[in-house]
């Protein structure tokens, strides 16, 4: 019984130490998700207005441009997958990877060759383990992405969309990321960045009772679109990176809270088992003392006789 009691006490100490770690990680994630939420709120209006500006240029001119013009027979597409560098975030990474794989299958069924770009070590490890080709990967900034990181990610994608497909370029650009809905809800979504669906943006503006203004473009609409192309891609990727970071921190907070609660329940269970083992040990000692006393009394009675 004594050995069993020592085992329980050792496990209680181990689980208690783990509980302290998970509680600290929960508090860190809670502080980070607030900062990430503020950055998302600050970047979203800029990305939305830039999208409206591109839409205004596209609908106000007949210029053919990669931003607004769909290829007649698209054959190649780029998919940007946003994951995290670290785990301990529940199903955050697996949901994003699953959404990217479903998007890839859908594009391949349409006869398109898919080039995959990945942000985050978790996504890259998943694809490398399954020996899947990755065009380019980025890591080291998923917890706190900056606009410079977004520019670095956007650079090869912009180059690919500007190139002809015969030279290794792509006709479409898609992005898969985790949208931050609330502290309890984060949803993996896929969105087509390029070419921009002008009809959908115009319909959205109509539902908001907004009318896109008419513009005159100098020197030309094509030059304006050339200038807007990198800004549009960078801003959308930056907003997606921030959404993904906020979602990751929220998922980590939720996972660590669950781990802390489970550790507390395990400590209570082990404490009850330890108390039962200690009680059994005390009972056994008392039984041995009583038995020894009775045997000694019987021995003394026999010697008296």
Please name the residue that has the structure tokens 């000692």: 285
Q: What is the pLDDT of residue 151?
A: 92
Question: Model-level pTM?
Answer: 0.80
- Report helix, strand or coil for 222: helix
- Does position 15 have pLDDT exceeding 70, yes or no? yes
Q: What DSSP character marks residue 60?
A: T
Lowest mean pLDDT among 23-27, 111-115, 140-144, 292-296: 292-296
Q: Let me know: does 135 contact 117? Beta carbons within 8 Å.
A: yes
234-238, 255-259, 274-278: the lowest-pLDDT one: 274-278
CB contact at 8 A, 260 and 20: no
165: phi then psi, degrees, rounded to nearest 5: -60, -30
CA angle 138, 78, 249 (to 5 degrees): 45
The answer to whether 151 and 217 are in contact (CB under 8 A) is no
Q: How far is CA 207 from the centre of its chain?
A: 31
Phi, psi for residue 138 in degrees, rounded to 5: -140, 145
| CB-CB contact of 65 with 225 (8 Å) | yes
Give the model's pLDDT for residue 99.
Answer: 93
176, containing H or E segment: strand 172-180
b/e sequence 59-94, b meaning 16+ C-beta within 10 Å: ebbebebbbbbbeeebebbbbbbbbbbeeebbebbe
* Predicted confidence (pLDDT) at residue 27 exceeds the cutoff of 80: yes
Q: Where are the alpha helices (DSSP H) in the chain?
A: 2-59, 92-109, 121-129, 147-162, 198-207, 221-304
Tokens in use for 202? 């115009």
What is the model's pLDDT at position 193?
85
Is the pLDDT score of 210 beyond 60? no
Q: Which token pair is 9?
A: 């006490």
6 Cα distance to chain centroid:
41
At residue 296, the pLDDT reads 73
> What are the structure tokens assigned to 200, written together?
């959908």
């Amino acid at each position: 019984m004594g050995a069993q009691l020592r085992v329980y006490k050792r496990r209680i100490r181990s689980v208690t130490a783990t509980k302290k770690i998970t509680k600290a990680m929960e508090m860190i994630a809670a502080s980070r998700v607030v900062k990430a939420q503020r950055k998302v709120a600050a970047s979203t209006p800029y990305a939305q207005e830039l999208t409206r500006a591109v839409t205004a240029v596209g609908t106000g001119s007949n210029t053919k441009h990669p931003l607004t013009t769909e290829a007649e027979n698209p054959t190649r597409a780029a998919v940007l997958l946003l994951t995290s560098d670290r785990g301990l975030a529940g199903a955050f990474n697996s949901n994003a990877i699953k959404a990217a794989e479903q998007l890839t299958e859908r594009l391949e069924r349409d006869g398109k060759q898919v080039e995959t770009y990945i942000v985050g070590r978790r996504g890259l490890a998943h694809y490398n383990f399954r020996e899947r080709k990755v065009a380019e990967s980025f890591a080291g900034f998923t917890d706190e992405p900056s606009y410079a990181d977004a520019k670095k990610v956007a650079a090869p994608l912009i180059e690919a969309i500007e190139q002809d497909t015969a030279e290794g370029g792509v006709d479409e650009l898609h992005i898969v990321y985790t949208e931050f809905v609330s502290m309890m809800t984060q949803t993996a979504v896929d969105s087509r960045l390029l070419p921009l669906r002008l009809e959908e943006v115009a319909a959205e503006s109509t539902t908001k009772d907004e009318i896109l203004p008419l513009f005159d473009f100098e020197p030309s609409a094509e030059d304006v679109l050339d200038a807007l192309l990198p800004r549009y891609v960078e801003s959308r990727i930056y907003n997606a990176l921030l959404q993904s970071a906020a979602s990751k921190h929220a998922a980590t907070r939720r996972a660590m809270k669950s781990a802390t609660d489970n550790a507390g329940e395990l400590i209570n269970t082990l404490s009850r088992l330890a108390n039962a083992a200690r009680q059994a040990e005390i009972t056994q000692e008392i039984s041995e003392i009583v038995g020894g006393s009775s045997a000694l009394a019987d021995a003394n009675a026999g010697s008296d006789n």
